[in-house]
Amino acid sequence: MRAIDRFKPLFYVLLSVYALITFVPFLWALSASFKSLPEIVSGGIHLIPKHFTLDNYRTIFRQEPLFGRWFLNSAIIALSVTGFNLIFNSMAGYALARIKFPGSSLMFYSILAMIMIPGQLTIIPSYLIIKELGWLNSYQAIIVPMAAQATYIFMMRQFFINFPKELEEASELDGLGKFGLFFKVVLPLAKPALAAQTIFIFMGAWNEFLKPLMLMSEKTMFTLSVGLNTFKGQYISFWNYIMAASIIMTIPALLIYIFFNRFFVQGITFTGTK
């Protein structure tokens, strides 16, 4: 114990240095987004802009009229994917944990196996299937294939298996069917597991890059991540615009993280030690 006390200042220094290493890239980006191009080009390293300006943010919406549309596309996709996953994964997890039906253990083991399948294997065939369905350049091309995920079905199953049985038995006596029971009693009590799931799935869908890159070739259907990449190509060396656009993309994920960070830890430690 005493040894730790002696080294305490050193540990605080280490932690602070690493916090600085974490923050500096973000602050540097934020700072560039409020500087004018001449100020960026003229060099000189100062974090606080000499002439604070909001022009970059105004310009990206004016010069790139699709920027708002990309934001909307990302939001529609991320929110729908999150909504579907919450319902579908919970339903499946509940059935696997609590309902006895033939084939349930086969399904459970299949889902365990699916968790191990690397996504790279299915990139090309999924593209061909979606093309065959005529879904290229549509929201469902990304939303439907992402609407259920094996990892979170497993997570919900583990959650429901430890759920107190008495609650369900009592409600069953009240004459609620399996569906009423699930939506009125079980789901409201599963909030912590649902919150952890919401965050991971929303982040995953919001930040997804490869799927929209391959499935959306029309500029109006780009998501923010793909749009940002083409934006970079067009405005090469206009770092003030590129950084402003990057900041806009980061804000929604950042807000969710700040408000829900305690669920993050639960979720990671769960998926990390499964």
Partner 1 sequence: MAKTFTKSKLRDMASGYTFMSPVIIILGCFLLLPIAYAIFLSFHKVNLLGTVSYKFTGTANFERMLDDPRLWIALRNTAKYALIVVPSQTILALLLASILNMKLRYRNFFRIAFYLPTVTSSAVLVLIFMWIYNSNGLLNYLLELVGLPTYNWLGDPSVALLGIMIMNVWSTAPLFMVIYLAALQDIPENLYEAADIDGANAWHKFWRITVPQLKPVTFYVIVMGIIGTFQLFDQSYIFSAGSGGPNNATLTMVLLIYQYAFKNLDMGYASALAFLLAVVIMLITVVQRLIFREERLN
Binding to partner 1, residues 205-264 (CB under 8 A)? 206-207, 209-210, 213-214, 224-226, 228-229, 232-233, 237, 239, 242-243, 246, 249-250, 253-254, 256-258, 261, 264
Which residue's CB is nearer to partner 1, number 195 or number 256?
256
C-alpha dist (Å) from residue 162 to 104, 190, 232, 274: 18, 11, 49, 15
Binding-site string for partner 1 from residue 133 to residue 172, where x marks contact by CB under 8 A and - marks none: -----------xx-xx-x--x-------------------
The nearest distance, CB 88 to partner 1, in angstroms, is: 4
Q: Note whether 139 and 169 are within 8 A (CB).
A: no
Among 57, 61, 127, 163, binds partner 1 (CB under 8 A): 127
Q: Which C-beta is closer to partner 1: that of 134 or that of 272?
A: 272
Should residue 79 be labelled a site residue for partner 1 when binding is judged by CB under 8 A? no
Piece of the chain touching partner 1 by CB under 8 A; list 65-73, 92-100, 159-167, 189-197: 92-100
Token output for 136? 């290229």
b/e sequence 49-65, b meaning 16+ C-beta within 10 Å: beeebebbbebbeeebe
Residue 118 sits in the site that holds partner 1 (CB under 8 A): yes
- Minimum Å distance from CB 15 to partner 1? 5
CB 242 within 8 A of CB 231: yes
Q: In b/e form, how buried is each residue of 233-249, taking b as 16+ CB within 10 angstroms?
A: eebeebbbbbbbbbbbb
- What is the identity of the amino acid at 99? I
Rule CB under 8 A: choose which of 117, 161, 170, 189 binds partner 1. 117
What's the rounded Cα separation, in Å, for the pair 73 and 69? Answer: 6
For partner 1, which residue of 38, 48, 65, 101 counts as binding (CB under 8 A)?
Answer: 101
7 Cβ neighbours under 8 A, 6+ residues apart: none
Q: How far apart are CA 78 and CA 35, in angstroms?
A: 31
User: Which is nearest to 152 in space by CA: 85, 105, 211?
Assistant: 85
> How many residues sit close enough to partner 1 to count as binding (CB under 8 A)?
97
189 binds partner 1 (CB under 8 A): no
Q: Give least dist CB 187 to partner 1, A.
A: 12
Rounded to an integer, what distance in angstroms lies between the CA atom of residue 2 and that of residue 10?
Answer: 14
Contacting range for partner 1; rule: CB under 8 A; set: 54-62, 65-73, 85-93, 162-170: 85-93
- Tell me the closest approach of the beta carbon of residue 18 to partner 1, in angstroms: 6
Site string for partner 1, 14-53 (x = CB under 8 A): xx--xx-xxxxxx-xx--x--------x-x-x--------
Among 81, 91, 155, 216, binds partner 1 (CB under 8 A): 91
Q: Are 20 and 2 in contact (CB under 8 A)?
A: no
